[in-house]
Amino acid sequence: MNALPGLRPPFVEKPADALVVQRIEDTATFETLRQEWSELLQASAANCVFLTWEWLFAWWRNLSEGRRLSLVTVRRGGRLIAVAPLAVRPRSLSRLLPWPSLEFLGTDIAGSDYLDVIVRRGHESEGLAAVADALAAAGVVLELSHVPSSASAAAQLAADLARRLGWTASTSRVNVCPFIALSGHSWPSYLASLGSAHRYNVQRRLKNLTKQFEVRFEQVSSEDQRREALELLIDLHNRRWRERGGSQSFATAALRAFYDDVSRLGLERGWLRLFILRLDGRPTAALHGYQYGGVFSFYQAGFDPEFAKQSVGLVTMALAIKRAIEEGAEEYDLLHGDEPYKYQWASKTRDLDRIELFSPCVRGQLSRRSLGLSRIVRRMGRRVVGNALADWFIAVATLSE
């Protein structure tokens, strides 16, 4: 655990209620933050399953892929008031970025949504200012993706860096999350809110299944059930996507280890919602989600293509929404992606943004131009890169030596 550049070292005597900002770079210290992190998150406006210690620690252990940990913590009087859950991403020739950048834990792989800086309510101004000063002292590039568009702490951080410290900020929309507002709904009233054709289809499919099969919709409640259900989910998901060219969701050992870790931790905390639909005892569909803070987050699903005519995927979604209503969930979030089927269930959406921040120094402005150029290259194709662009990249990279 190190003091950030430009800050007074931790051994200097300070008043008992002084702000202390530190950078955490080792996994062992990250692991010790679990209880404090959980309390802080619940006391923040950013409270969601994708910012829990459990989710991000499992991601760090399994999917960090060469990144370096760089959590920024802010304390007042020893009490944690803010965490910027960041990691250093190595410089990349494919993105033409000659220097490392900072990004949120959970970025890219595993599809985490609503990533943000976590700040205790009532401490937003001082907490974010302390994070901004720490990042400015380090002189890094920030690439913050899948940030909620409305009232995020990351957007406030960007505004502070731009206003006080002269940073350049760029915000763009990257995705959308359809969701269902469940507050006040019963299952019949929710069904009545659907389009007539979809409502009729749901009711007909449910009725036909109960006529043809013994239908069981099982929720995982023990560790043995979790392990078995996760294997079934992986198998059913891969079977569903095999005829469509395959899926990358469970393609690597690291991804499977992540899902094993996070589902185990989610079960321990009572958040995991892993369902298996069995017809005459045979597993035909699975749905994987998390219910946290009144929100059911639908994450993954799979079904046996042999039962496609019975619409077991649709039935499983319907039964999961019904269960969420019965458990008192206020919202059912279908997470990022504008697939048409989501709009059959959901009528509301939230946007997700990408915020890029560049310091006013030469390195920061060159990084901004590099990222802009890399987007042009991706749009036009690799053939435009050539030796001249590679020489330019090498020349710029030497400035970091």
Which domain-ending residue is among 280, 314, 329?
A: 329
Q: Is residue 11 part of a domain?
A: no
Same domain membership, residue 274 and residue 389: no
Q: Is residue 334 part of a domain?
A: no
Same domain membership, residue 80 and residue 166: yes
C-alpha closest to that of 19 among 118, 126, 117, 125: 126
pLDDT digits (tens, 9 = 90+) for 91-113: 764 455 567 889 999 998 788 99
Q: Is residue 378 part of a domain?
A: yes
Q: Is residue 300 part of a domain?
A: yes
The SS3 of residue 298 is strand
Same domain membership, residue 268 and residue 220: yes
Same domain membership, residue 169 and residue 27: yes
How far is it, in rounded angstroms, from Cα 128 to Cα 153?
A: 8
Same domain membership, residue 369 and residue 235: no
Residue 132 lies in domain: 19-176+352-400
Q: Tokens 């219910």, residue?
A: 291
pLDDT digits (tens, 9 = 90+) for 75-94: 999 999 999 999 998 876 44
Same domain membership, residue 150 and residue 32: yes
Q: Is residue 104 part of a domain?
A: yes
Q: Is residue 8 part of a domain?
A: no
Asked whether 142 and 355 are in contact (CB, 8 A), the reply is yes
Same domain membership, residue 392 and residue 322: no
Same domain membership, residue 197 and residue 164: no
Q: Tokens 């987007």, residue?
A: 375
How far is it, in rounded angstroms, from Cα 323 to Cα 181?
A: 14
Domains contained in the chain, number = 2
Q: The domain that contains 206 carries what CATH number?
A: 3.40.630.30
C-alpha closest to that of 49 among 110, 107, 112: 112
Q: Is the dihedral of CA 219, 225, 231, 235 positive or negative?
A: negative
Asked whether 80 and 27 are in contact (CB, 8 A), the reply is no
Q: Is residue 340 part of a domain?
A: no
For residue 108, the 8-state DSSP code is S
Retrieve residue 53's tokens: 């210690």
Which domain-ending residue is among 314, 329, 344?
A: 329
**pLDDT (0 to 100) of residue 368:** 53
Asked whether 20 and 10 are in contact (CB, 8 A), the reply is yes
Contacts of 358 (CB under 8 A, 6+ apart): 141, 167, 168, 364, 365, 367, 368
Same domain membership, residue 118 and residue 23: yes
pLDDT digits (tens, 9 = 90+) for 124-153: 999 999 999 999 988 778 999 999 998 899
Which domain-ending residue is among 329, 361, 387?
A: 329
How far is it, in rounded angstroms, from Cα 332 to Cα 348?
A: 11
Same domain membership, residue 34 and residue 123: yes
Q: Is residue 347 part of a domain?
A: no
Same domain membership, residue 81 and residue 57: yes
The dihedrals phi and psi of 178, each to the nearest 5 degrees, come to: -70, 145
Same domain membership, residue 191 and residue 325: yes
pLDDT tens for each residue of the chain, 401 residues long: 554 444 444 545 566 688 999 999 999 999 999 999 999 999 999 999 999 999 999 999 999 999 999 999 999 999 999 999 999 988 764 455 567 889 999 998 788 999 999 999 999 999 999 999 999 988 778 999 999 998 899 999 999 999 999 999 999 999 999 999 999 999 999 999 999 999 999 999 999 999 999 999 999 999 999 999 999 999 999 998 887 777 888 889 999 999 999 999 999 999 999 999 999 999 999 999 999 999 999 999 999 999 999 999 999 999 999 999 999 999 999 999 999 999 999 999 999 999 999 888 646 555 555 555 455 555 555 444 444 445 444 444 444 44
Q: What is the pTM of this model?
A: 0.88
3-class SS letters over 365-383: HHHHHHHHHHHHHHHHCHH
C-alpha closest to that of 61 among 290, 259, 291, 267: 259
